[in-house]
Chains A and B, each alone.
Chain A
């Protein structure tokens, strides 16, 4: 009911929640790696403070995740490998972008399925109405 008003939950447990990820690791010199690293941080959920990605979270666990991911990116592992690593340990819950699999087909396909259904309904309505329009015209 009240967007943007964090009232309880982890807000009060952690001294400082709205700080973000700065770690002792030096930034990547390779901009491609840096970009990949930052993008990955956006897609991993911090499980300690539940509604944040690890890029924005100040929780110690988020720092550990970042360190781990930083190391893996540095070792040349792909995004898919890194995500798999996280999922094997924490489950799909750790990904903010749900993977496409049996239990998420409806999630990813739902909106487009609905759009398709709606288009069909619109087409039917238009067909009926346009016949009606023709009749009105001919009866005039």
Chain B
């Protein structure tokens, strides 16, 4: 009987593997979970896009729930996303801050003038150094920051209406309730 067990082993290995594959088919291996979730926003200090002399730093992100959206004019997916952000900004539920990532200042200003500006304020990261501290690896990416300046959630890829309804708004409301 014990000998039989040895011969059954390959079947068991196969079943386990197929189980993992099945799960794996529904996972996206290109989404990298950020280790910064649950940690305070990294310290940074960047010039503002509209006013290079003014600075934007982590203190700006404390006190209320906010979104930080990483974007750039060279980013194709950011185009579609911007409409969604404009809609969200109109609802006035949450301030949206922009992190303009490795961009050209003039084209960025033109883009906002032409397409509308959903952002409360925009930090201008021309080198991408601050983005590395934030663990950014592409655009667009969106961070949800709580009242204490702690990163609570990160969405990778362009935001859609569905993402706003399913992922962002419920979390924003929950954080608000938590805070009061």
Contact = CB atoms under 8 A, between A and B. Distances in A.
The finding on whether chains A and B are genuine partners in a shared complex, rather than unrelated, reads yes
Nearest to A71: B129
Contact of B137 (A47, A87, A88): A47
Interface size class of B (residues with CB under 8 A): 10 to 19
B133 interface: yes
A107 interface: no
Which size bracket describes the interface of A in this complex? 10 to 19
B129 A90 contact: no
Interface string A54-92: 000000110011001000000000000000000111110
Contacts, number: 42
A47 B132 CA distance: 11
Contact of B135 (A50, A60, A68, A89): A89
A64 B132 contact: yes
B155 interface: no
A84 to B, nearest CB: 11
B138 A50 contact: no
A119 interface: no
A61 B137 CA distance: 7
A130 interface: no
B32 A90 contact: yes
Chain A at the B interface: SS class: helix
A68 B138 CA distance: 17
Nearest to A65: B132
A58 to B, nearest CB: 15
B134 interface: yes
A96 interface: no
B128 A64 contact: yes
In the A-B complex, the 9 residue pairs with the closest CB atoms: A47-B137, A89-B135, A91-B35, A64-B128, A93-B32, A90-B135, A48-B138, A50-B30, A48-B137
